[in-house]
A and B are shown apart, each in its own frame.
Chain A
């Protein structure tokens, strides 16, 4: 097995390099899921509460679309799986994507892999080490969740099935990212391809669960939920998952063996010998660098938006005439269930789209650490102007991404409901969420200016927004904690009317944060 020579050393080296990252991922996902599960118990203390919740969710297509299929919702275990699994499975997929992407294509793009391969190290050893570590992380996440559920007092079989589902999604996305890393020579594109597959997996599952269930079987997230934890477990989907993972890994191995180190499957093409006039300004340069990711994120969100919009019409059909639905409608201030669903969809799209917002600002930091900022700032370009160029790409790009997402929702819902007036309504509503995204851009910029080593904290802030937005009800946070998320201050359009004051206030905070970032950056050393 000379192909794997050095595997042991490389695996230990990887564990050593990434030990903090690995532990943080496992602990963050494990704790988040176990703690949410523990609070579900507090929300529904009696069987009557569980019965009521089950009825409410069963008839709520929005809840089904975001959380998962109706499986034993009148039991504590079933309710836990319903509340925590879809968000947790996405996080586990992201864990696999970021871990595998950065350690395979990221290492290769940086040239470090070349150095390793010059040593007596097998062709597949480095990739296999990443595979082992990522698979180990997936198993660890599953184990933490199973043990946590057992500690809460949930049944053994269901806890095992729930944990196994998390491991399964981690494994499949490890495989998917391994393949994506062979196809492109660019780490960002690797993340993009795998992230798009994750988004598609979520959308297919949502559409399938709301519809007749067929589409669910095209989604790894669906497979994990179809293991029916706490609802009469079935184990054969595990086989599906293991076979898929094995096929993906085999595909990645095959692709690796047929390409050069550093190359992707698509050979590089020559570029123009002269720069277009727009490139001569910092803004033109920033746009050129960011336009690829704007297109990628917009496409992804367009698909997600189409998926969400396509089931919106079913929300009304879904509604029986029972009391709990009346309650839901009453709670949302008289808005229709469909509009509440659409508002939740737009919120979700805005939070996902904030990934672009933050990444676009943090491009400043990667330009700096990759020594590309230095020669630019050695020209007549001032620091504020350079920062503003990337900030503008983030600010405008976020709006573009969000409008496209709203367009997707509007067109697919409008076609389904035979009401194309929904297109402008959804696009308009989607814009209301943009200032919250800008606020996150401001946070990222302030971090970049003031504590450049800690820019990664911007992602933690976004993760916090997700927790507050998606699990806030489960945790029952006090209002001030909910209020920490900028998205909490945005009116839930289209379910609510536009109220200008909170939107303008969020924008003002975004501007203040960004200004602080520019000032702080002007005072610090570069590099």
Chain B
């Protein structure tokens, strides 16, 4: 049984009357890369600050590498490396000096590894921090953090501002870290990055954890989108249980289906004579958007809800935490992006059923 690198349950942190964390749970096993997702202001950075012993938890149990992050901060910190999302450097020091400062303050500066990373990230270590661009400041913080051999990396949106080439270098570095059996907590908005790197994911919102698990598990709990063309008209498809966001045009239909009802749905379609069928598992983006669906619905407003009713009049008893019209809106929004990302890192299992005979 593996011990947990991070175990948080029921964490509450208030700032005055504002409840930044409201009973948050987060469990990160040793050796895993754990994605930490949530919209802006959800409490990701606050959680990380509690883990670093910078903020004192108001309620709840927090354990970091088996210790108490507040009381044992100094004892725990040599075992972790932290990369902030909002990197602020001493303007008069050079990037190289700053990397060394952090390495020495942490106590595990490895000159060879440092050199290698400076080269891989194409960083000029002689420039004064004042003159670095945002991306270069981020690289300084990344090199300082990745040069460490610490058993836990805490990364708070570590790639904001990096170009795609550097993003690839970053992903490579994280895979190496993982191969060495070290643990990573990765807070990120770049969902492709999370999908590519993370074993498990926790999604938080308004200071609470709304979902946590492996990507496969999470996919299973949600919907698969189906594009189908059949011999006979698809009029009845909207009445099927577990089918949502239906858009029927004669013999052609596009809809989402709860993944655990996929089998029975495909059987019903087979009865209509399938000529072509494309199924796409939900991308992380869709999972993510689903959880913030009602926020989106609030923002997009009645227009989207009306449009959805016009489309299919889906039943609203949708699975998943998001409510009826909200789920629909989220699916609709995600649908637009799913097409483009399906072939990418997400690598959805695109299965095309052969056409039926005449």
Contact = CB atoms under 8 A, between A and B. Distances in A.
Interface string B53-64: 111100000000
A378 B82 contact: yes
Looking at B87, B103, B106, which has the most chain A CB atoms within 10 Å of its CB? B106
A279 B130 contact: no
Given A268-B128, A275-B101, A380-B77, A371 B84 contact: yes
A375 B141 contact: yes
Interface residues of B, number: 44
Contacts of A276: 97
B239 interface: no
A185 B129 CA distance: 13
Nearest to A370: B88
Nearest to A262: B130
A9 B91 CA distance: 31
Interface in B304-355: none
A186 B97 CA distance: 20
Nearest to A524: B56
Contacts of B93: 271, 275, 279, 288
Interface in B37-80: 49, 52-56, 73-74, 77-78, 80
A376 interface: yes
Given A268-B131, A525-B54, A379 B77 contact: yes
Interface string B107-145: 101000000000000000111101100000000010010
A145 to B, nearest CB: 39
Contacts of B82: 375, 378
B283 interface: no
B90 A280 contact: no
A12 interface: no
A436 to B, nearest CB: 31
Contacts of A524: 56
Contact of A272 (B53, B97, B103): B97
A527 B49 contact: yes
Give the interface size class of chain A: 35 or more
A377 B55 CA distance: 11
B100 interface: yes
A500 interface: no
Contacts of B56: 523-525
Contacts of B125: 273-274
Contacts of B130: 185, 268
A525 B88 CA distance: 19
Contacts of B218: none
Contacts of B102: 375-376, 379
Contact of B88 (A269, A279, A372, A527): A372
Interface string A248-286: 000000000000000000001111111110011110010
Nearest to A270: B126
Interface in A301-322: none
B235 interface: no
A380 B78 contact: yes
Chain B contact residues, majority secondary structure:
mixed
A268 B126 CA distance: 11
Interface string A354-396: 0000000000000000111011111111110000000000000
A379 B107 contact: yes
B112 to A, nearest CB: 13
A289 interface: yes
B90 A372 contact: yes
B105 interface: yes
A376 B84 CA distance: 11
Interface string A514-527: 00000000011111
A268 B124 CA distance: 14
Contact of A274 (B49, B55, B88, B100): B100
Given A280-B104, A378-B52, A270 B88 contact: no
A466 B92 CA distance: 33
B104 A289 contact: no
Interface in A446-464: none
B52 A374 contact: yes
B49 A526 contact: yes
B289 to A, nearest CB: 30
Contacts of A383: 73
Contact of A271 (B53, B55, B78, B128): B128
Contacts of A279: 93, 97, 100-101, 104
Given A270-B127, A273-B125, A378 B77 contact: yes
A282 B73 CA distance: 16
B48 to A, nearest CB: 9
B272 interface: no
Contact of A377 (B54, B80, B90, B104): B54
Given A270-B126, A273-B94, A525-B54, A372 B89 contact: yes
A269 B49 CA distance: 35
Contacts of B54: 374, 377-378, 525-527
Contacts of A378: 52, 54, 77, 80, 82, 154
A384 B24 CA distance: 30
B31 interface: no
A526 B46 CA distance: 11
Contacts of A186: 91
Nearest first, the 9 A-B pairs at minimum CB distance are A280-B104, A271-B94, A275-B100, A273-B96, A379-B105, A526-B54, A275-B97, A378-B82, A270-B126
13 contacts: A268-B130, A271-B92, A271-B97, A271-B128, A279-B97, A285-B90, A288-B93, A377-B53, A378-B52, A378-B77, A380-B78, A380-B105, A527-B54
Given A271-B96, A275-B100, A380-B107, 19 more contacts: A271-B93, A273-B126, A274-B96, A274-B97, A274-B100, A275-B93, A280-B100, A281-B105, A289-B92, A372-B90, A374-B84, A377-B73, A379-B106, A379-B107, A380-B78, A381-B105, A525-B54, A526-B49, A527-B55
Interface of B: 49, 52-56, 73-74, 77-78, 80, 82, 84, 86-94, 96-107, 109, 125-128, 130-131, 141, 144, 154
